[in-house]
Each structure stands twice: as structure tokens, then as C-alpha cells.
Amino acid sequence: MSRRHVLKKYQVLDNADSTTNPVSKETDVSQLDFVTYQLSVEAGVTATLLVLFSNDERFDPANASELNFGTPVVLDGATNVDYVLHIQNQGFKWLYLNVIDTGGNGNVNAWVTGNVRGA
């Protein structure tokens, strides 16, 4: 019988000022099949969101790489204030976010949750 792994929703960015290019808390996703990030931004935010991963046993941002979604993830509070990213774990150990300001300003909040297939 296998264990059911569920990552309960918790906040990784808490009213982070987008002009400071905030980096979220890292999350160990090694026991999860699916990870979901939910973001809420203020109307003035214009930024690019990077999702970074590391497969090191101990988290080290120096060895992180960016996930490639095929197109940049743009946060534009003037057109949308809520975002959801669903990620299928391809063997990642750690995931975290980096918000790169592109000229706007405002706060960013982000939460993470996850589960295994069928959980």
C-alpha cells in the first residue's frame, strides 16, 4: 500500500513588492506528481514570472534552472489579477518562483499546493 502525498496550500510570497524582483520560498516537491501555484497581483504589477527548479539534495539556488513553458509567463495586473500554474513534476526536487519587474509596481502573493496522481 502506497502513501498518499499531499502538499497542503501554503503561502510562498506574502505581499512581495514586485519592484524588488522577489523570490519565493523553495518547496520540496520530490514526493508529488502535480504542483499548482496560485498567484494574486495588484493592478499595477507588470512582471515576468520565472518558475525555477533544482534537483540538488540540499536546496542551492546557484544550481537552479528555469522551467520553459514555451512562452514567458507575464503578470499584467491591468488585465488579470489572478493566475494559476499547473505543473507536472518531471523529477524535480525543488521548485520556487522569481518575479522579474518589467516596469510596474504593486504587491504579489503566491501559494503552492500539490498532490500525487489519484490523490
pLDDT above 60 (res 3): no
Q: Write out pLDDT tens, residues 36-81.
A: 999 999 999 999 999 999 999 999 989 999 999 999 999 999 999 9
CATH number for 17: 2.60.120.380
The model's confidence at residue 4, banded by pLDDT at 50, 70 and 90, is low
The three three-digit cell numbers of residue 104, written as one number: 510596474
Whether 26 is in a domain gets the answer: yes
Domain count, the chain: 1
Whether 1 is in a domain gets the answer: no
pLDDT at 118: 64
Whether 101 is in a domain gets the answer: yes
Whether 50 is in a domain gets the answer: yes
The model's confidence at residue 104, banded by pLDDT at 50, 70 and 90, is very high
Any idea which of 18-27, 79-88, 110-119 has the lowest mean pLDDT?
A: 110-119
Residues 30 and 92: their CA atoms lie apart, in Å, by 6
User: What DSSP string runs through the chain?
Assistant: -PPP-EEEEEEEEEEEEGGG--BPPPEE-TT-SEEEEEEEE-TT-EEEEEEEEE--SS--GGG-EE---SS-EEEETTT-SEEEEEEE-SS-SEEEEEEEESS---EEEEEEEEE-TT-
Any idea which of 31-35, 56-60, 82-86 has the lowest mean pLDDT?
A: 56-60
Where in the sequence is the domain holding 36, given as residue range(s)? 6-115
What percent of the chain has a predicted confidence (pLDDT) above 70?
Answer: 95
Whether 30 is in a domain gets the answer: yes
